[in-house]
Structure 1
Amino acid sequence: SERVKRLERDGVITGYHARLNPAYVDRNLLVFLEIKLSAKSGDVFDQVARDLVAIPEVLECHLISGEFDYLVKARLKEMSAYRRLLGDLLKKLPSSASSHSYIVMEEIKETLFLDVSRL
């Protein structure tokens, strides 16, 4: 008990989460979205981050290196909901140049588990 409290206090444990079955909450569509911005600056990245954080369907958002700037993971009810989300998102984002979507057909592995046994 004391060890867990210390790990929480030290920021090693950042929270506790319930994993919901997407089928039971009507969110079967899992989508990954790559966004490439045409203009890049600290202000643009800050605005995009604020916009993406505010969207409840967005589960994860990562600023990445490589061909694209952002990798976004979203879970929605159906394709029409994704179409609306994408349209709204691209209109809202400053300097949004292009996007590529990847619709997940089958989830093979998804976990929050980190193996720390060798630390």
Structure 2
Amino acid sequence: MKLDATDIRLLRALQEDGRMSNAALAERAHLSASACHRRLRQLEMAGVISGYGVRLNARAVGRGTIVFVEITLQAQSQDLLDQFEAGVARIPDVVECHLMAGSADYLLKILAENSDDFARIHRQHLSRLPGVAQMHSSFALRTVADGNVVPLG
């Protein structure tokens, strides 16, 4: 779907405040309320808007330790990739998993309570993932930029 200037205004406004009323959103995008609602439905149906949610402060809910784990698999067969990804999907502490190009096959972002909690996650989950040849964990010391905002136009 090709986004026009109005779509971009709508999406920017929603990324700033996803709880904005349709009337407020329409005003920001210079649309009538019905036109705004119609545009949003089109963006949703096209998959541009993939969902709505709340961003939580991980530290405030006791998950302030961020660990990035690089994983290299023993092989790259489709079956092993599928098994590995299914295993990762069952780990509730993994908030992101990316298939990578480069030295590691996967990069996981894990939210833990502290280093002891990460040790539990490692013992109970990560060490049991299929096909893992190498694993390298890095603890984030401080978050400099954190956002789920997609740059537009």
Q: Same fold (TM over 0.5)?
A: yes
Return the index of the structure with the highest Cα Rg. 2
Deviation at 1:92, TM superposition (A): 1.8
Q: Give the secondary structure class of the aligned counterpart of 2:60.
A: helix
Matches within 5 A, 1:23-102: 23-102=59-138
Residues in 1 aligned to 2:43 and 2:150: alpha-carbon distance in whole angstroms: 15
CA separation of 1:90 and 1:113: change in aligned 2, threshold 3 A? closer
Residues in 2 aligned to 1:79 and 1:21: alpha-carbon distance in whole angstroms: 19
* Residue number in structure 2 paired with 1:11: 47
Provide, for residues 1-45 of structure 1, a one-character-per-residue CA deviation record: whole Å limited to 9, x for no partner: 110111001111001121111122111100100001122211100
Q: Give the secondary structure class of the aligned counterpart of 1:19.
A: coil
Provide, for residues 80-105 of structure 1, a one-character-per-residue CA deviation record: whole Å limited to 9, x for no partner: 11112122334322221111111011
CA separation of 1:15 and 1:93: change in aligned 2, threshold 3 A? same
Unaligned runs of 5+ in 2: 1-36
* TM-score when normalising by structure 2: 0.72
The structure whose RCO (Cα within 8 Å, separation 6+) is larger is 1
Task: Figure out how many residues of one structure are paired with residues of the other and give that number.
Answer: 117
Structure with more strand by fraction: 1
Residues in 1 aligned to 2:120 and 2:76: alpha-carbon distance in whole angstroms: 25
* TM-score when normalising by structure 1: 0.92
Mapped contact 2:71–2:106 kept (Cα < 8 A): yes
Provide, for residues 40-67 of structure 1, a one-character-per-residue CA deviation record: whole Å limited to 9, x for no partner: 2111000110010111110000111111
Residues in 1 aligned to 2:126 and 2:109: alpha-carbon distance in whole angstroms: 15
CA RMSD of aligned residues (A): 1.2
Percentage of matched positions with identical amino acids:
36
Q: Give the secondary structure class of the aligned counterpart of 1:5.
A: helix
